[in-house]
């Protein structure tokens, strides 16, 4: 099954399971079914609970917040993650504040789904990874499944179990990708896979390693759209220099899944964190800081971050490739860690 199909099925399932679920967004009606087809088929089956909205991100975010406060389970699609900037006031000053600020008299079970990420030549305003802008917002949960996860299952949990607002990030390069789930022997292709529930039982991290039972030389942390690049880099450095990398792929971006990362970081003592956004004040920056606070004595090298260059993401293919982090950038960071 493909990533997009998994999400689409989950939306069908939650709408069937609970008539409090409403889906709102721009251009989500059939036959179009959304810019990335994640909402396909929903409006044909549930015409009263699928709302095609005007291009009014600030207000549809507020509208959905109001729905959530009054007992519904709205799912809001923001067509491109770049447009999340337009939703920011409602996310920061309304949806994530109300429960706490009103002394827990209300719940705001709002799920905002949005595609992030580049590598498709969409240019500066349709390619960004902006969830990192929200890392410092109390009360917000950010989930970003990779193709190693079961994205539909994570979405179902976010919609039906969460009591507060969730930003659900879908990397657009993953949409057509086939899911890579562990087989009966616990392997994903060449990797031994393990689910880590150290931080959260609903949103596990996946650990991947080419060698079982051996201490990893480097811990590589990457979520969402960076997961396939991380896997490729880990494979390459093993083939070329027999460097054993343990990859930790969180599905939970915030709160920080430190408990899933820490054991491997402590064991290997060398950590590379790869993300698609810029490094400054980013996810890797915070993760590195938290690792240092808990495991400084175990580290044999400074933690290294791989991320995008600090310029707008260009449209031209070779330029975009230069700006966004590549497999080779991760490999180089790994080599620096082990001194190759």
Catalytic positions: 126
Can residue 258 be called a binding residue for other proteins (CB under 8 A)? yes
Minimal distance, residue 137 CB to other proteins, in Å: 10
Can residue 294 be called a binding residue for other proteins (CB under 8 A)? yes
Which H, E and C letters describe 8-56, residue by residue?
HHHHHHHHHHCCCEEEEECCCCCCCCCCCCCCCCHHHHCCCCEEECCCC
Q: 2 or 97, CB closer to other proteins?
A: 97
Give CA–CA dist 145/154, Å, rounded. Answer: 7
Q: Where does this chain touch other proteins (CB under 8 A) — which range of 103-111, 180-188, 189-197, 271-279?
A: 103-111
Query: Across-strand partners of 304?
Result: 272
Instruction: Give, in degrees to the nearest 5, the angle at Cα 224 between 12 and 107.
Output: 55
Q: Could you tell me the two tokens for 296?
A: 């400084």
Q: Where does this chain touch other proteins (CB under 8 A) — which range of 98-106, 170-178, 301-309, 314-322?
A: 98-106
* Nearest Cα residue to 338 out of 270, 242, 263: 270
Helix (H, G, I), strand (E, B) or coil at 320: helix
3-state DSSP helix/strand/coil % of the chain, to nearest 5: 40, 20, 40
Site string for other proteins, 42-71 (x = CB under 8 A): ------x--x-xx-x-xxxxxxxxxxxxxx
Can residue 293 be called a binding residue for other proteins (CB under 8 A)? yes
- Considering only residues 107 to 146 of the shown chain, the ones binding other proteins according to CB under 8 A are 138-139
Can residue 197 be called a binding residue for other proteins (CB under 8 A)? no
Q: Could you tell me the two tokens for 141?
A: 């949960």
Contact (CB, 8 A) for 312 and 126: no
Q: 62 or 314, CB closer to other proteins?
A: 62
Q: Where does this chain touch other proteins (CB under 8 A) — which range of 118-126, 251-259, 305-313, 320-328?
A: 251-259
Minimal distance, residue 54 CB to other proteins, in Å: 6
Binding site for other proteins (CB under 8 A): 48, 51, 53-54, 56, 58-72, 89-90, 93-94, 97-106, 138-139, 254-256, 258, 290, 293-294
């Amino acid at each position: 099954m493909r990533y997009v199909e998994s999400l689409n099925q989950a939306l069908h399932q939650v709408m069937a399971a609970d008539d409090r679920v409403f889906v709102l967004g721009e251009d989500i009606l059939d036959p179009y079914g959304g810019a990335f087809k994640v909402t396909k088929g929903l409006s044909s089956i549930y015409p009263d609970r699928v709302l095609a909205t005007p291009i009014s991100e600030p207000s549809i975010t507020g509208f959905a917040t109001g729905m959530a406060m009054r007992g519904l389970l709205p799912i809001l699609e923001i067509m491109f993650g770049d447009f999340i900037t337009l939703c920011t006031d409602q996310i920061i000053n309304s949806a994530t504040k109300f429960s706490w600020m009103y002394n827990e008299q209300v719940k705001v079970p709002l799920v905002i789904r949005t595609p992030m990420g580049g590598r498709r030549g969409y240019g500066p305003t349709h390619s960004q990874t902006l969830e990192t802008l929200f890392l410092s917002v109390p009360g917000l949960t950010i989930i970003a499944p990779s193709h190693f996860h079961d994205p539909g299952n994570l979405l179902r949990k976010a919609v039906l179990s969460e009591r507060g607002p969730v930003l659900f990030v879908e990397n657009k390069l993953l949409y057509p990708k086939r899911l890579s789930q562990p087989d009966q022997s616990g392997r994903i292709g060449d990797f031994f896979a393990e689910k880590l529930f150290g931080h959260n039982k609903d949103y596990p991290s996946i650990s991947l390693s080419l060698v079982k039972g051996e201490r990893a030389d480097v811990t590589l942390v990457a979520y969402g759209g960076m997961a396939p690049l991380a896997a490729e880099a880990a494979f390459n450095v093993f083939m070329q220099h027999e460097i054993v990398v343990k990859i930790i792929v969180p599905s939970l971006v915030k709160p920080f899944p430190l408990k899933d990362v820490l054991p491997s970081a402590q064991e290997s003592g060398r950590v590379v964190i790869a993300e698609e956004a810029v490094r400054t004040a980013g996810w890797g920056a915070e993760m590195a800081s938290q690792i240092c606070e808990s495991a400084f004595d175990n580290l044999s090298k400074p933690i290294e971050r791989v991320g995008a260059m600090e310029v707008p993401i260009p449209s031209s293919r070779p330029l975009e490739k230069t700006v966004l982090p590549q497999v080779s950038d991760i490999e180089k960071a790994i080599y620096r860690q082990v001194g190759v």
